[in-house]
Structure 1
Amino acid sequence: MAPESTTATGSGEPSRTLALLWGDPSAAPRRKGPGRSVTVEQVVDAAIALADDQGLGAVTMRAVAERVGVSAMSVYTYVPGKAELLDLMVDALYLRMERPAWRRSLWRTRLTKVAEANRQLLTEHPWLTEVAALSRPPLGPGVMAKYEHELAAFDDTGLSDLDIDAALTYLLGFVQSHARSAHDAARATTDTAMSDAQWWEANQPILARAFDPEAYPRSVRVGSASGEAQGSAWSDERAWRFGLARTLDGLAALIDGD
C-alpha cells in the first residue's frame, strides 16, 4: 500500500498519474474477478467530498473506499495510492471551473477575474491551499484547460511568453497566500468559538497594559486606527482588495511601463 501522508501534488509516479489523468486504460491496475462496481470519477468525487466536509486529513484510501462502497483493498485497483488521488482531485476541480470567453476589456479587468475565480475555488475547497503546488501541478486536462484560459487573459499585453508565465505565477501566488491567511483566520475563530471582536474585548485589560503609547507610539496609533476601521487586527476583504490592487500595480509596471 502507498503511504497516506502525501500532502502535495506531483508526488506520485509520473507516468501512472498522467495515464490516470488522461483516462488511459493502461493506468488501471490489473485485477481478477468481477468487473468494477464504481468508476474512477466516483472515487475522486468521494475523496473531494471527504476533504470538503472533514479536511484533508480525513482523506484516506480506506475512508474513500467506505464512501463509495468498495473494500479497502479494491480501491487500489481504481487509484494506485493517495499521491495519485490528490492529483486527480485537484485536476477534477480545475476542470470544473467556469471559463467564460474573454471579451475585449482592459488587461487589469481580465486578471482581476482570474484572481477572483481562483479565490472562489480556494474558498469553497480550503484544503486546496495545502496540496495545489504551483511548481508541480498535475498535468491533466483540468490543469491544461485552466492554464490555457488564464494565459489568454494576458493577450495583447505585449509581454513575452516567459514574462506571461511568470506574471500568472505571481498573481496566483498572491491568491494562494491570501487564501491561506483567510483559512487561518477562520480556523482561529472556529477553534476559539470567539469572533475577532470578542477576542479583543476579552483581552482588553491585558492589551491596555501591553500597548503603552510611550513605548510603542506607532504600534498603538496604527493598530488602533486599523482595529477601529476593521473591527479586528486583520480583515479578509480589506487585505484582499489592497493586496490584489498592489499585485496588479506591480504587473502594470511591467505591462504599461513607467
Structure 2
Amino acid sequence: MTSGASGTGGTETSGSGDIARTLELLWDTGRRPSRGPKPTLTLDRIVEAAVRVADAEGLEGLSMRRVAAELGTGAMSLYRYVPGKAELLDLMLDRVQRPRDDPPGFEEGDWRSALEARGRETLALYRRHPWLLQVNQSRQVLGPSTLDSLEQVLARIRPMGLSDPELLSAIIMLDGYVVGAARSQLYQQEAERRTGLTDAEFWQAQIPALEKAMASGRYPVMASLSEDTFGPDFDHFEFGLQRLLDGLDVLVARRARQ
C-alpha cells in the first residue's frame, strides 16, 4: 500500500475503472467461461507485459494495443481478460507492490527496523517502476498484494503502542516522505536526459555567477557554509528517514510512560 503516493499531477488515476470487475480480477472471484476455445493468454501474462511496457516507455506509452504487441497478439484478444486500460492499471499497481518474503531489516524484529526497511524498499520500488509517480493513488483498489504488504508492516509495528489510526498514519507519513524523495531523484534523472547535462555539469556552469553573489555580502550565511554543503556525498534520503523515525521514537517512548 502506497498511501502517501497519491500526489497531484498524475497522468492516470487508480480506481477509475469498473471497481467491481477489477476486484473480481484481483481476487480471482469472477466466473470462468466454460465454453469456447482454450485461452492462449493468461491475465498474469497480460499484467506482466503491461508492467514491462510501462517500465520501458512510461504510462504515456501504455495502451491495450501496445500491450498486445508486446505479447504478439491482437488488441481485441486482451479484452477477453480485462475490460480496459483503467482496470489493467489497477492490476499493475497491485502486481508491483507484491511484498518480498524476507525484506532486509524485517528480520531484526523491532518496529523501527521494519519501517526503515519499508522506506528503503519503497524507494527501490519507485526506482524500478518510475511510472508509479504518474499515478494518483489516493483511491487505490485494494488487492491481495497491497493488503499483504500492509499486513506485513502492521504486524511488525503493532508493538509501538500507538492507536490503530496512528499506526496507519505512521505508514502514510513514511510513504509520503519516500515518494517525495523518489520524485526528486526521478526529476533529476529526467533533467539530465532531456538537457544532456549531468547534474555536476549543470551546477558547474553556475559557479561563476554564484561566486560573485557570495562575494557581494548579500548572502552572508550561505557564503559561510562549508564547501561540501551542496556536495553529492551526503545522503539526504537516509538523513531524512532517520529523523522521521527519531520523531516516532519520541512518541513511542512518551506513550510507554503513560
Distance 1:103 1:41 in 2: 30
Structure 2 residue aligned with 1:155: 158
Q: Are 1:10 and 2:15 counterparts?
A: yes
Of residues 129, 135, 144, the one that matches 1:131 is: 135
Correspondences of 1:65-76 after superposition (within 5 Å): 65-76=68-79
Of residues 237, 245, 252, the one that matches 1:255 is: 252
| 1:103 positional shift | 4.0
| 1:59 positional shift | 0.8
Deviation sequence 1:96-145 (CA, Å, 0-9, x none): x3132844633212211111111111111111122261x32231111110
Distance 1:181 1:6 in 2: 17
Q: Are 1:22 and 2:24 counterparts?
A: no
Deviation sequence 1:197-250 (CA, Å, 0-9, x none): 1112223333334445412223343485522xx14xxx7x62211110121122
Distance 2:146 2:69 in 1: 28
- TM-score, structure 2 length as denominator? 0.84
Change (3 A) 1:222 1:17: farther
Distance 2:48 2:100 in 1: 18
The answer for unaligned runs of 5 or more in structure 1 is none
Amino acid of the structure 2 residue aligned with 1:118: T
Distance 1:72 1:6 in 2: 22
Correspondences of 1:54-73 after superposition (within 5 Å): 54-73=57-76
RMSD, aligned α-carbons: 2.6
Of residues 230, 243, 246, the one that matches 2:243 is: 246
Of residues 96, 103, 106, the one that matches 2:110 is: 106
Higher RCO (CA-CA < 8 Å; seq separation 6+): 2
The answer for unaligned runs of 5 or more in structure 2 is 1-9
Amino acid of the structure 2 residue aligned with 1:110: A
Of residues 214, 217, 224, the one that matches 1:214 is: 217
| 1:255 positional shift | 1.3
Aligned residues: percent identity?
Answer: 37
Verify the 8 A CA contact 2:110 2:157 in the aligned structure 1.
no
Distance 1:156 1:187 in 2: 41
Deviation sequence 1:142-194 (CA, Å, 0-9, x none): 11101100111213111111111111111111111111111111111222222
Change (3 A) 1:6 1:17: farther
Verify the 8 A CA contact 2:109 2:156 in the aligned structure 1.
no
Change (3 A) 1:216 1:148: same
| 1:85 positional shift | 0.8
Distance 1:213 1:127 in 2: 44
Distance 2:13 2:42 in 1: 24
Deviation sequence 1:61-117 (CA, Å, 0-9, x none): 11011111221223222211111111101111122x313284463321221111111
Verify the 8 A CA contact 1:213 1:220 in the aligned structure 2.
no
Structure 2 residue aligned with 1:191: 194
SS at match of 1:242: helix
Verify the 8 A CA contact 1:90 1:138 in the aligned structure 2.
no
- TM-score, structure 1 length as denominator? 0.84
Correspondences of 1:168-183 after superposition (within 5 Å): 168-183=171-186
Change (3 A) 1:62 1:212: farther
Distance 1:104 1:182 in 2: 29
SS at match of 2:39: coil
Q: Are 1:92 and 2:92 counterparts?
A: no
Distance 1:105 1:127 in 2: 32
Distance 2:18 2:49 in 1: 22
